[in-house]
Amino acid sequence: MFIGKIEIEKTAALAPMAGVADKTFRELCKDFGAAYTVSEMVSAKGISMGDRKSEELMTVSEAEHPCAIQIFGNEPETMAQAALTAKKMNADIIDINMGCPAPKIIKGGAGSKLMLNPELAGKIIKEVSSAVDIPVTVKIRSGWDDSSINAVQMAEIAEKNGAAAVTVHGRTKEQMYAPPVNVDIIRNVKNTVSIPVIGNGDIVDVFSSAKMYENTGCDLVMVGRGALGKPWLFQQISAYMKNQVIIPDPPVSQRMLIMLRHIENICNERGIKIGIREARKHALWYTKGLRGSTEYRRQMSTLESIEQLQEIAFRITKDNE
């Protein structure tokens, strides 16, 4: 499939998860076959103020392409300027966040709050699309709540104002991440607009990925929480999509090696102090469901060094194989 002139394999993309989809995780998922990755969301105001953290979030490596930088905000001109900066940071695509349900983002009038203001949403999309000569995409939810399901309207507005694709998370802001995703709304969007539609929500294995494609007719699926502690999911989806081959999860020993590689890369990128702090949550995801994981997860929650993690990984492997 294509987003503008950017060709993307019709397998699976990595979603823009705050606090998770940093450069190291995106590179890892790309190594395992992610067709396309999107950065953590970056504040347009932060970009305009030259915020150091915002610049760090926008760092894109050569190994990641095609990759989008996702921006959020509620001021059209500021968003346009942020898009120009993001393009200079090596982004192939600019993604606009209009779906985040986090209270802090909504309080600032951004994210899924824009689902309640389609007129402003359209102005933002138009300004951003006019400012850059690379594709602009928009990520939305099915609506704000059950009484305002307006993803179709928002997708039409996105297309009208220059968006090259739209990603639809099939839940409302009020639903957050709890109930099953509504595939009907994603299918309705796909049947309404002519730009590509990316389906998002509840993709946890090859079967849920295949079901999303089948039930919605979407052009691409996007994996979020299903990839936490499981970056090889992209390899599995790719093999199934291309050859109908089911690749099993890697053995525990290999899973632990992937975890160590991931966390060592975080530490190399961000330093030991920050890296180990970030490592704790990833280690919990990598060990979910393993024998003896309750005790090991308790130890990982207070992780202090790579050496400690290596020792725990060795014991986990011994206990599970």
**pLDDT (tens digit, 9 = 90+) per residue, 35-93?**
999 999 999 999 988 888 888 899 999 999 999 999 999 999 999 999 999 999 999 99
Among 152, 155, 161, 153, residue whose Cα is nearest residue 125 = 161
- pLDDT band at 133, cuts 50/70/90? very high
Amino acid residing at 250:
P
Say whether 100 is catalytic: yes
Where do the domains of the chain lie?
2-243, 252-320
Mean pLDDT in residue range 111-134: 97
Measured distance CA(257)–CA(312) in Å, rounded: 12
Alpha-helix residue ranges (DSSP H) falling in 32-182:
44-48, 52-57, 76-88, 103-107, 118-131, 151-160
Q: Which residues pair with 223 in a beta bridge?
A: 14
**pLDDT for 142-191, tens place per residue?**
999 999 999 999 999 999 999 999 999 999 999 888 878 999 999 999 99
Q: Exposed, middle or buried by CB within 10 Å (0-12, 13-18, 19+), for 7?
A: exposed
- pLDDT band at 274, cuts 50/70/90? confident
Q: How many CA atoms lie within 13 A of 134 on its CB side?
A: 20
Domain 252-320: top CATH class: mainly alpha
Length of the chain: 321
Lowest mean pLDDT among 88-102, 105-119, 279-293: 279-293
pTM: 0.94
**pLDDT for 9-24, tens place per residue?**
999 999 999 989 999 9
Among 315, 309, 311, 316, residue whose Cα is nearest residue 264 = 309
- For 193, 203, 281, the CA distances from 167, given in Å and listed in that order, are 12, 14, 27
**pLDDT for 179-201, tens place per residue?**
789 999 999 999 999 999 999 99
Tokens 């600019």 belong to: 94
Q: Which residues pair with 95 in a beta bridge?
A: 70, 137
* Model confidence at 225: pLDDT above 80: yes
Catalytic-role residue among 29, 100, 218, 267: 100
Among 205, 203, 204, 166, residue whose Cα is nearest residue 186 = 166
CATH tag, 2-243: 3.20.20.70
- Strands 2-3 and 165-172, by their bridges, are unpaired
